[in-house]
Amino acid sequence: MTAENDFLEEYSAESFPRPSLAVDVALVTIINKQLHVLMIRRVEHPDQDHWQLPGTFVHLAETLEAAAARALAEKTVAGPVFTEQLYTFGRLDRDPRTRVVSVAYYALVDPARIRDPIEGQLLGAIAVPWQGETGGPVQILDQSGPLEVAFDHAEIVGTVVKRLRGKLNYAPVGYELLPRRFTLLELQTVHETIMGEPINKDSFRRRMLASGELVPTGEKQRGVGHRPASLYRMAPSRP
């Protein structure tokens, strides 16, 4: 393509047929040491009664982040949520009706802040059929077994798991899934849940305390039936 073509295309872009742009958001939390994700039942064709991630089209005067927040709004969470862009999915046939390119986001939240899902929503357990950071689609289960997942959303959730596992190796991701104050064992459990494998406790404690990311609050657990653990919070100013 020459600069001339670029020029022509740029100025007439408004009139060319072009892809629609959407956002989909995977709201992830941990329940019973298992990753869960918020799914919504589709009431219309295609994929009627299958389950999808909350999503919406991006409006003309709206940032991607604002669209993602709007997709989550009124859904299930109270208050602000850690949200980060994941990946943009653009397969030609990912939506059979029309060409839709979707910018996927993931959001992490303490399960205590999630309201009970209403009719047509549920928190499905994420079953990861691969090890490490291999990647690929995942299964999403409710009490009765695997859900039928609409569009490419099982692949999107798989990409979330892959991303979370990658980030844990160099960034303190897990605390967004915990209350503001937490114990080292709670944080370790979050890491183990994301990684899908046990972690050496001694080494984990040393690494976390040496990282400088954790600030002791001076408080301790109460009423736990054993020696209470110290409560920590994340260091506020991280680059």
Are residues 106 and 25 in contact, defined by beta-carbon separation less than 8 angstroms?
A: yes
Q: Which one of the spans 71-79, 143-151, 217-225, 228-236 is the region binding a copy of itself (CB under 8 A)?
A: 71-79
Are residues 176 and 119 in contact, defined by beta-carbon separation less than 8 angstroms?
A: no
Of positions 45, 97, 226, 238, contacts DNA by CB under 7 A = 226
Q: How far is the CB of 64 from a copy of itself (least distance, A)?
A: 4
For a copy of itself, give the closer residue by CB, 57 or 82: 57
Per-residue binding string, a copy of itself, 142-181, x by CB under 8 A, is ------------------------x--xx-----------
Report what 230 binds from a copy of itself, DNA, none; CB cut-off 5-8 Å by kind: DNA
What the block records as the tokens of 192 is 């183990």
Report what 9 binds from a copy of itself, DNA, none; CB cut-off 5-8 Å by kind: a copy of itself
| Cis peptide, bond prior to residue 46, ω within 30 of zero | yes
Per-residue binding string, a copy of itself, 107-126, x by CB under 8 A, is -------------x------
- Return the residue matching tokens 């990912």: 94
**How far is residue 147 CA from its own chain's centroid?**
18
Report what 129 binds from a copy of itself, DNA, none; CB cut-off 5-8 Å by kind: none
Q: Which one of the spans 40-48, 51-59, 161-169, 215-223 is the region binding DNA (CB under 7 A)?
A: 215-223
- Return the residue matching tokens 């406790």: 201
Contact positions with a copy of itself (CB under 8 A) in 24-53 = 40, 43-44
Helix (H) or strand (E) holding 231: strand 230-234
DSSP alpha helix (H) spans, the chain = 3-12, 64-72, 153-168, 184-195, 201-211
**Phi, then psi, of 84 in degrees rounded to 5:** -145, 145
| Rounded-to-10 torsion of CA 97, 103, 104, 108 | -140
233 lines the binding site for DNA (CB under 7 A): no
Q: Measure the CA–CA gap between 75 and 54, rounded to whole angstroms.
A: 8
Q: How far is the CB of 30 from DNA (least distance, A)?
A: 17
For DNA, give the closer residue by CB, 52 or 221: 221
What the block records as the tokens of 209 is 């305390």
Of positions 184, 213, 233, 234, contacts DNA by CB under 7 A = 184
Q: Which residues bind DNA (CB under 7 A)?
A: 183-185, 199-200, 202-207, 210, 220, 222-230
